[in-house]
Structure 1
């Protein structure tokens, strides 16, 4: 991973690329300054090559009305300070050129054929041959603009279901002219783009092509067509082939936590076998050990990681210095990266509040060290303690349990969310490194907290017990009892509550652990061809039923669709997984009482009894504030954060952000 590699006319200092990701930082006040800070920090962390978020080569290709473009030479020159900041740190930087095609959320979007994307309300206009030739020229002009702005190269986005990818497969290309029909005709558009860029920008300019190595949609490319396209792209002048996995409309998860680490490496290996230029593996690679294994095995020549550089911009540097145990690992939650982007907010990171907000934080030690007590060793407490100690405060952390983690120990039980182990490891390691005194197994009393300059209450939440007749029935368990393993659920389960916790509990009850840990089992569950040779790399219907031995019914009082409040980029995965495993979900119910017959409800105005061996309460949380109230009465300076401040869903994103920001402000 740390060895240099030659690509085109350039030598990269190692084999790690920071992959392209949308940041929306360009829409912020002082957008250039924020982008400089963002990219320079990752270059400082020794990523060999950074790829920007996608710039459209023309007006039709923008992803949304605020999407960035690079077709104006003068505006492109405004990006030069970003390039200079990255290059000053010893890294290369490439601008990604991305035409959104039928995914563009604008009137007048275009595509090879007028087929609306299921994730877009706009119907695309079919491109004429004149449109196609003009767009090829637009890519060449955009690449020249990037070159003039100081970029070392460009990445041409040919995957993920965007315009170029739409031309290459029969799923979206129904043309009967020279740009459709045969594979040779469908490949013509990307090949001509690469050729035009190379001719315009010369041999010294780095050209990366991101090829779709597994479309994961019906009518997607089979392996032989992907290999043929790869060879043509190489011959047209590309220096590197990066691999993309899945279209945005695919019904197979590709980068979220339910996907096993390294699940797509074989797809990259198939491309590598076809060409002689470097090939990059991507998606769900988040540790140096896995990256090293993929490279050493010969499956790829380089590794692309995007979100892991949000979680820790110094991923490569820490590895080189033998400090890989200090890497803040991406847990693939998508909560502050993709979900923020899809809700028109700048990119962030659950485990690293600095990501995208580098200009808001300081690293200089405090001039006025304080003696700080942190009560609670969950996400909020650990983040506060680690950051405060790093900045030079004298910190003591009290945790009533004999282990750290708090609600993270429950969250990690959900399928795929054992990635939270990495967050626990990181913050525990940071506390140890910076000298936090830990009092585990000690429930802090007010008397223990005398003499501290500041007390932080991060005591979290407890499950809310609804006022319902029969709530003390032996069949009733809390989500905490189920996820912790203190209670074993029976074969017939009712989950009361269909929010994030309810969905996690339901999936915990019906999903085999191997589905999110073993690539072969994952592929079987989601009907993916494990060899990635079939059309679209599919081996059937991704939503085909995979019934569980348990019969689980999930209920909610709200009339809204169950799961409506889940994350934009992960909610559909959870809902589809539960449907596949036979989980029934009902909204608009009224809970009546619980007895030996089960849970009595009213649904659609009719009384009903749902027989159950186990009834799991996912009915909300209550904040643990008793200690805070006692300290306030004694005039002790107290700040509440995390669940103690606001008992919503188990929100590690808010907890860690509040903890780090509090420590910064002490």
Structure 2
């Protein structure tokens, strides 16, 4: 008997049956635009082999003006259809089903040809959209239908019509972006005409036995968003127009409330989907921050939806469903919702991948075969770089010994997991612990390794990480001056007034850690919703609380400083940096740039401004925390080189640029694949 009977139950759609209740949600990977269709096919086929009940591709533009950016992928020609046919054939051969998402960006399109309901510029694009006339609207409807018909010719089992997240169809629905006074604006009946017309046209184009998913924004999280009565009204009309399934969309891209980042509680918005249950007769999918089979099972068991959507968890582990089905849920590599290698890459114009799984989207060029000649491999450092190297090297048949001076694995991940909003890192460390225990890797913890200890190994990998940089401030040897390691490992008490030196990722983490009072809101949904000002959309239009965010008072007064004379947090993640800045603002953290650190004494931290060292002031504080960067710990590597041994140096020991687990894991994985 399975541990997840709801999640693994088939879903009968009438003309076809899905083998389970798990949708691999749409993600833009950037693969289609590269034109390597074998690579695209293998990415999706791997997820089909891994057990996804239905896969949805990244968004395909229905026309050039609707592309998210110039040159965005779509089905515009017979050649496009043939390329996509290679993908659907591979997925079907792997036993899967796949739908193509049709995504019209509207005013979110990053190009001068963008169109929308009204010429209201998006805050996330510099291009004001052109207001469509009747002829233009008719063209968009026909282009959706044509795209769907081409998807069917390409062998897709269905399409998903993107109607949420603030994209084109969503822009017609709300007065926030629809200022029209004709038959496509004004009353809600007029504003919802376009999505209904699109679904109806798509159904006419593809016939009855073809899946049509409509992704409906159930809580907009923007001013003047939809009421929930309007959501229900639209859902019923979309069902009548011919949709097979309704999928949940949460928040617009311009919303100032996080919806998928790691600080968002698991399954944080499933209660919104549950409000729609019973109002329509077709299946309803729920979404966002569902990253474990147990979470999915509980969501379905509690009646929140008929099916769950998981996107990034399938980047972290293509075999998510298969492992759950086989009783190996503890082996599922966890999505930690960090955004660092997926969404940050997408918005940076890079191929998406995954921090915990560098093979994601690189299935055809990052593969490992059994080693032709197994070697004895020593790896020093059981942080993310060392652990990743050890697991892959062991899988390839090498004899691996993993050393670390600490009494537990994880390295600096063990500090990251202490930060409020980063609780997912506990699961990542647990996963490494599980996988190492099930591997053939010999672990030698509590071991200080010297160069002589590594004699007899064929390959030596140095993954010894970093040590804190010495900022060389007069008075830093005082008892009330701590490093971030002291703080995050709880080695010393911290006073009520704190000065934090250094505003990189670690400085922000320390500020969040020290200002959080009590349990993290990430562990308490009601508290998190209040903190960010999320309300019931049945009571407040768009789901925004009229009183705004209501965070708890900070546990301490903190001042966060940096030497660079620019806004703090500019170097944080493209898609998460704003969340960290907003969090510290809610915690009343004072953020100061362009600072010179003069000295620390009984009064506090003395600072000045600019090259001329002007405007001296004293930051009165009980504790000073040093987060002034890191330097690589290469002492063992240097000792080995002195002996004539050239080790492989990876992770922080190679480059001390913040605490970059993404780079460390990628380096370790790729090294082990080549040993």
User: TM-score normalised by the shorter chain: which range applies?
Assistant: over 0.9
CA RMSD of aligned residues (A): 1.3
Matched, 1:6 2:15: no
Greater displacement, 442-451 / 346-355: 442-451
Distance 1:99 1:542, change over 3 A: farther
In the alignment, does 2:301 pair up with 1:292? no
Q: Are residue 654 (structure 1) and residue 663 (structure 2) matched?
A: yes
Residue 380 of structure 2 is matched in structure 1 by 375
> How far 1:660 moved relative to its partner?
0.7
Aligned partners of 1:532, 1:526: CA distance in 2, in Å? 18
Task: Note if contact 1:224-1:533 (Cα within 8 Å) is conserved in structure 2.
Answer: no
- Tell me, yes or no, if the aligned pair for 1:251 and 1:542 is still in contact at 8 Å: no
Which residue of 570, 574, 580 maps to 1:574? 580
Aligned to 1:634: 643
1:474-489 matched pairs, under 5 angstroms = 474-489=479-494
**Helix, strand or coil for the counterpart of 2:374?**
coil
Alignment of 1:487-636 (within 5 A): 487-512=492-517, 513-530=519-536, 533-540=539-546, 542=548, 547-603=553-609, 605-636=614-645
Partner of 2:231: 226
Q: 158-167 or 360-369: which moved more?
A: 360-369
Distance 1:193 1:56, change over 3 A: same
Verify the 8 A CA contact 2:219 2:537 in the aligned structure 1: no
Question: Any idea what SS the aligned residue of 1:358 has?
Answer: coil
In structure 1, stretches of 5+ residues that fail to align are none
* Cα deviation, residue 568, structure 1: 0.7
Q: Name the SS for the 2:276 alignment partner.
A: helix
Cα distance, 1:533 vs structure 2: 4.4
Q: Which runs of 5+ in 2 are unaligned?
A: 1-6
Of 262, 265, 272, the match for 1:260: 265
Tell me the residue number matched to 2:251: 246
Contact 1:280-1:301 at 8 Å conserved across structures:
yes
Alignment partner, residue 218 of structure 2: 213
| Structure 2 CA distance for partners of 1:484 and 1:531, relative to 1, 3 Å | farther
Separation of aligned partners in 1, 2:492 and 2:170: 49
Paired with 1:363 and 1:664, the residues of 2 have a C-alpha distance of 5
Q: Deviations over 1:116-151 (max 9, x none)?
A: 111111111111121111111110011001111111
Distance 1:358 1:25, change over 3 A: same
Match of 2:407 in 1: 402
Once residues 76 and 597 of structure 1 are traced to their aligned partners in structure 2, the CA distance between those partners, rounded to angstroms, is 71
If the length of structure 1 is used for normalisation, what is the TM-score? 0.98
Rounded Cα–Cα distance in structure 2 between residues aligned with 1:3 and 1:172: 40
Structure 1 distance, partners of 2:539, 2:327, is 38
- Residue by residue over 1:235-285, the C-alpha shift from the partner in whole angstroms, topping out at 9 and shown as x without a partner, is 111000000101000000000011000100111111223211111011100
Give 2:3's aligned residue.
none
User: CA contact under 8 A between 1:71 and 1:141: conserved in structure 2?
Assistant: no
Decide whether the 8 Å contact of 1:170 with 1:219 is kept in 2.
yes
Q: Choose the corresponding residue for 2:438, options 433, 436, 451.
A: 433
2:37 aligned to which of 8, 32, 39: 32
Deviations, residues 15-37 of structure 1 (Å, cap 9, x unaligned): 10110010001232x52111011
Show the 5 A alignment for 1:72-151: 72-151=77-156
Measure, in 2, the Cα distance between the counterparts of 1:548 and 1:496: 19
TM-score by length of 2: 0.97
Counterpart CA distance in 2 for 1:135 and 1:352 is: 38
2:214 counterpart SS class: strand
Matched residue SS, 1:417 = coil
- Which of the residues 416, 439, 457 maps onto 1:452? 457
- In 2, the alpha carbon distance for the partners of 1:269 and 1:386 equals 41
More divergent stretch after superposition (430-439 vs 240-249):
430-439
Question: 1-side partners of 2:88 and 2:548: how far apart?
Answer: 42
Aligned length: 665
Q: Structure 1 pair 352/532, CA: closer, same or farther in 2 (3 Å)?
A: farther
Q: CA deviation at 1:531?
A: 6.6
State the alpha-carbon separation in 2 of the partners of residues 476 and 654 from structure 1.
30
Is 1:345 matched up with 2:353? no
Q: 1:539 to 1:19 in 2, by over 3 A?
A: same
Aligned match of 1:467: 472
By how many angstroms is 1:361 displaced?
A: 2.0
Asked if 1:322 is matched to 2:322, the reply is no
